[in-house]
Structure 1
Amino acid sequence: MKKFIPNALTLMNLGSGVLAIIAAFQEAWSLTFLFFVLCLALDFLDGGVARALKVPSELGKQLDSLSDVVSFGVLPALVMFLYMIPYYPDWNIGRVFSEGRWEEFLPLVAVLVPMSTALRLGRFNLMESSSYFLGLPSPANALLLMSIPMILRSDKSPEALLAFLANPYTLAAICLFSTFLLNAPFRLFTLKFKGGSFQDNIVPILFLIAALVLLLTLGYLGIPLIILLYIGMSLLGINKKKA
């Protein structure tokens, strides 16, 4: 039974991702984001529970990646796609290819997100245990993309930002940027705390404090800033270590 608990959490992550996809098709965006947050929580819990119960397994590792492709690859790609197609009345994938409507091809850029996510997860599975991530983790990348529709729907979003985000070219560019981040050749710190002094854990502690402040003060607007802060602190920290 102990061996099944972490796998059950992983499968619940997958199920929550599918529910989020269904909610997205019905344009229930708040519910979509809620199911996505549940995916994040379950993805965090399954590995921790497996380690706590001392039942890590190869099956669990593979299930985790398969679930993440859906929850953190297909789901955010679909959301970005659904936000782009309204800019093209009567958008139809058949006509895009059969009639050569290449100006309407832009929403399909979202397909690159799950492809890059699968590549990122495959590469991660082949890595030996490490104290850092190579490229942006798929949950963080998905969080970046999933924050976009919530920012567009937020009453607190500045009009200038809404004008910038509310066009298919910007949304497609964000998708492309995210595919780069997933497999970018830079190291990012993990949020695992090391044994030892406060100084040994200063980077993740400062990051978590800053992330909490951004979320409390800016709400959804703080999410992209948190991701950029994470990347910036990682690069500065690693450059400092190398020096």
Structure 2
Amino acid sequence: MKKHIPNILTLLNLFCGTVAVIYAVNGQTGIAAFFVFLGIFFDFFDGFAARKLHVQSDIGLQLDSLADMVTSGVVPGMVMYHLLQLSLDPGSWGQGIRVDLSSPQGFIPFTGLFITLASAYRLAKFNIDDDQQTSFTGLPTPANTLFILSLPLILIYQESELAFSLIRNTWVLIILTFISCYILNAKVKLFALKFKNWGFRENAIKYVFLLSCIVLLVLLRFAAIPVIILSYIIVSVATNKKTGAV
């Protein structure tokens, strides 16, 4: 029975991602984000369970990527599509994803789906790369998804004119889309939040980083997520330089 536990967790991730797709299509990005966060929670613990129970398998690896493709690939692309649609037509907020190709401007929201394509490429590379067991090359798709999903949450739950003006700006969203696509597949090593044991000495950076994340979330709420993702990249690059890692 225990060999099925990690795969059940992975399937729960896929279930949450599929539900998130439904809400994203209907423009209910806040609810979609909740199911994505829940899916990422299951995604974190499926690998942990597989390692602890010593039931890692090839099918588990493939199933994990297929689930991530939905939760951390399709959903963020659709959310960015919705945000670009909103930037062009502020009155469309909460009305759901729609397609209007009556003018060249109507093609712009499709730019957001580049995130889905970049996520698929990143997941495919991960599956054939044996060098990403203790670290990642490029930003993991769940981390990128948290960043994208934080944008509508900031609009919904926080009051910041500066944030609103940036998130509702078409060019800012397009630039963020291409940065997202690039960093997903960049040849930059980032530390993985995988725990083989709970010792502080072996996991000092991870513990300090997670504690910092909690503090930032308390202080900044959803606005903390972009700061956390940026910090994650900066800390990883700084650690690589210190240890001489490429």
Q: Which residue of 2 aligns with 1:146?
A: 149
Taking the aligned partners of 1:171 and 1:234, their CA distance within structure 2 comes to: 25
- Aligned AA (1:126): I
1:34 maps to 2:28: no
- Shifted more, 23-32 versus 61-70: the winner is 23-32
Deviation at 1:200, TM superposition (A): 4.0
1:57 maps to 2:57: yes
- Aligned AA (1:136): L
Taking the aligned partners of 1:64 and 1:199, their CA distance within structure 2 comes to: 29
Q: Which residue of 1 aligns with 2:134?
A: 131
1:47 maps to 2:47: yes
Deviation at 1:30, TM superposition (A): 2.6
1:210 maps to 2:216: no
Identity score, percent: 37
Q: Which residue of 1 aligns with 2:119?
A: 117
Gaps of 5+ in 1: none
- Shifted more, 189-198 versus 117-126: the winner is 189-198
- TM (normalized to structure 2)? 0.88
Taking the aligned partners of 2:15 and 2:197, their CA distance within structure 1 comes to: 35
Report SS of the residue matched to 2:22.
helix
Deviations 1:104-146 (A, max 9, x none): 3221111111111111111111111532110001100110001
Deviation at 1:242, TM superposition (A): 1.3
- TM (normalized to structure 1)? 0.89
Gaps of 5+ in 2: none
Correspondences of 1:62-211 after superposition (within 5 Å): 62-88=62-88, 93=99, 95=101, 101-129=103-131, 130-155=133-158, 157-193=159-195, 198-211=200-213
Taking the aligned partners of 2:171 and 2:29, their CA distance within structure 1 comes to: 21
Taking the aligned partners of 1:238 and 1:66, their CA distance within structure 2 comes to: 30
Deviations 1:81-105 (A, max 9, x none): 1122134459975736xxxx43332
- Taking structure 1 as reference, are residues 197 and 15 closer, same or farther at Cα in structure 2, changes over 3 Å only? closer
Taking the aligned partners of 2:24 and 2:130, their CA distance within structure 1 comes to: 36
Deviation at 1:32, TM superposition (A): 1.2
Q: Report if aligned partners of 2:20, 2:75 keep a CA contact under 8 Å in 1.
A: yes
Taking the aligned partners of 1:115 and 1:154, their CA distance within structure 2 comes to: 29
Taking the aligned partners of 1:38 and 1:239, their CA distance within structure 2 comes to: 34
Taking the aligned partners of 1:123 and 1:182, their CA distance within structure 2 comes to: 11
Report SS of the residue matched to 1:107.
helix
- Calculate the aligned-residue CA RMSD, in Å: 2.2
